[in-house]
């Protein structure tokens, strides 16, 4: 049997008292998402199926900023985004500024497979979700106590104008994303990423998670990558594709490429950045420059790893 592997992340960014108090719950969430995706691979499912399954779990877990648990924008609304990509044929799908859809990454996959488009946003995305019968939930479902607390704290620290929201984001830099990369028995890789964005963001703001080549990228010739951190910084540097380009055009190995990008090429970039990646040999790597990144991986070689902080791997 060919090697199978999966890696997941639950967001990179600044530490907080809430995270410190819930370390075990974050680790459990990563473990369960990882196990859900790995079971798909064990049963012969595709890498695409596995990353969707893992990200669905994290979207449903209120600890993580995606799906249920999404951050609230300046108007106390939830606007979500997601992307997914198949390394076998480079097919991809993405959605942004979407409301009510329980699992945005599943909507992104449906856009990839059921339309002639790659990227649909806002009401068009919601209308399409309704057309194909995806599960939708009332907005109250997505708003957790923690997300509301973060929102009210944002209002106190910003003047609740468009400019104030922007200044708050730059100062506080609180963000979160979930993502997964996987390798299946057929030797194909895939990537998926989903987020609720940053709290008190300007309505309509689009981050990195829904952008193919930034939030997610997968190519059997090189690797699969999911990124997380400060969206604007990740967009500037086209993070996910940047890893692939270093492998394809510079001839670096996966681990070397991720380390070089994070700690050499972008060492002076201001902002939190994190990436998880794997290639068709089953090599897995994770790099980040932030105070914490919830992350884990599992392979058919018996390797398994979970951590929140940079004291490991």
Is 266:237 a contact under the CB 8 Å cutoff? Answer: yes
Cα 217 to Cα 252: distance, rounded to the nearest angstrom: 17
Cα 197 to Cα 78: distance, rounded to the nearest angstrom: 9
> For 274-288, what is the HEC assignment?
EEEEECCCCCEEEEE
pLDDT at 170: 39
**Token pair 């609720």 in the structure block, residue:** 196
| Sheet hosting strand 178-183, strand order edge to edge | 119-121, 92-98, 80-86, 189-195, 178-183, 5-13, 292-299, 304-307
pLDDT at 1: 60
Q: What tokens does 153 get?
A: 């704290």
Q: Within a domain: residue 200?
A: yes
**What is the chain's pLDDT, residue by residue, as a tens digit (313 residues)?**
689 999 999 999 999 998 999 999 999 999 999 999 999 999 999 999 999 999 999 999 999 999 999 998 988 899 999 999 999 999 999 999 999 999 999 999 999 999 999 999 999 999 999 999 999 999 989 988 776 676 676 666 655 554 554 444 434 444 579 999 999 999 999 999 999 998 888 999 999 999 999 999 999 999 999 999 999 999 999 999 999 999 999 999 999 999 999 999 999 999 999 999 999 999 999 999 999 999 999 999 999 999 999 975 4
Q: Within a domain: residue 313?
A: no
pLDDT at 201: 87
Strands (E), the chain: 5-13, 80-86, 92-98, 119-121, 178-183, 189-195, 216-219, 223-229, 273-278, 284-288, 292-299, 304-307
Could you give the angle at the alpha carbon of 95 between the alpha carbons of 124 and 33, nearest 5°?
135
Is 64:92 a contact under the CB 8 Å cutoff? Answer: no
Strands 119-121 and 92-98: parallel
**Which one of the listed residues 106, 177, 198, 214 is annotated catalytic?**
177
Q: Within a domain: residue 312?
A: no
Q: Within a domain: residue 260?
A: yes
How many domains are contained in the chain? Answer: 1
Cα 5 to Cα 272: distance, rounded to the nearest angstrom: 26
Q: What tokens does 306 get?
A: 């979970």
SS3 of residue 258 by DSSP = helix
pLDDT at 171: 42
Q: Within a domain: residue 85?
A: yes
The Cβ-side half-sphere exposure at 152, using a 13 Å CA radius, reads 6
Q: Within a domain: residue 64?
A: yes
Q: Within a domain: residue 20?
A: yes
Give me the CATH number covering residue 172.
Answer: 3.60.20.30
Q: Within a domain: residue 263?
A: yes
> For 126-153, what is the HEC assignment?
HHHHHHCCCCECCHHHHCCHHHHHHHHH
Give the residue from 231, 162, 159, 151 showing the smallest Cα distance to 195: 231
pLDDT at 297: 98
Q: Which burial class, exposed, middle or buried, applies to 287 when counting CB atoms under 10 A from its CB (0-12, 13-18, 19+)?
A: buried
Host domain of residue 68: 5-307
The Cβ-side half-sphere exposure at 173, using a 13 Å CA radius, reads 17
- Whether 222 is catalytic: no
pLDDT at 156: 65
Cα 14 to Cα 37: distance, rounded to the nearest angstrom: 27
pLDDT at 312: 56
């Amino acid at each position: 049997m060919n090697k199978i592997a999966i890696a997941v992340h639950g967001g990179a960014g600044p530490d907080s008292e809430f995270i410190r108090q819930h370390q075990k719950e974050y680790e459990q969430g990563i473990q369960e998402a990882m196990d859900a995706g790995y079971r798909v691979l064990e049963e012969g499912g595709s890498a695409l199926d596995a990353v969707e399954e893992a990200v669905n779990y994290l979207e449903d877990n209120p600890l993580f900023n995606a799906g249920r648990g999404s951050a609230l924008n300046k108007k106390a609304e939830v606007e979500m985004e997601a992307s997914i990509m198949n390394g076998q044929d480079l097919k991809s799908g993405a959605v942004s500024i979407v409301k009510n859809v329980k699992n945005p990454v599943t909507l992104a996959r449906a856009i990839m497979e059921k339309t002639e488009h790659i990227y649909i946003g806002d009401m068009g995305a919601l209308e399409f979700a309704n057309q194909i019968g995806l599960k939708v939930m009332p907005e109250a479902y997505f708003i957790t106590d923690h997300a509301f607390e973060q929102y009210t704290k944002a209002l106190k620290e910003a003047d609740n104008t468009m400019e104030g929201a922007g200044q708050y984001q730059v100062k506080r830099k609180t963000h979160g994303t979930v993502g997964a990369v996987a390798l299946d028995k057929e030797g194909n890789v895939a990537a998926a990423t989903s987020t609720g964005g940053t709290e008190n963001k300007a309505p309509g703001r689009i981050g990195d998670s829904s952008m193919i080549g930034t939030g997610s990228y997968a190519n059997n010739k090189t690797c699969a990558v999911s990124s997380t951190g400060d969206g604007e910084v990740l967009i500037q540097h086209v993070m996910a594709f940047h890893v692939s380009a270093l492998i394809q055009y510079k001839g670096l190995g996966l681990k070397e490429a991720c380390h070089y990008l994070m700690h050499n090429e972008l060492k002076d970039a201001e902002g939190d950045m994190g990436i998880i990646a794997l290639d068709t040999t089953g090599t897995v790597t994770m790099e980040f420059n932030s105070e914490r990144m919830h992350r884990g991986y599992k392979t058919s070689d018996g390797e398994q790893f979970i951590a929140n902080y940079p004291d490991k791997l």
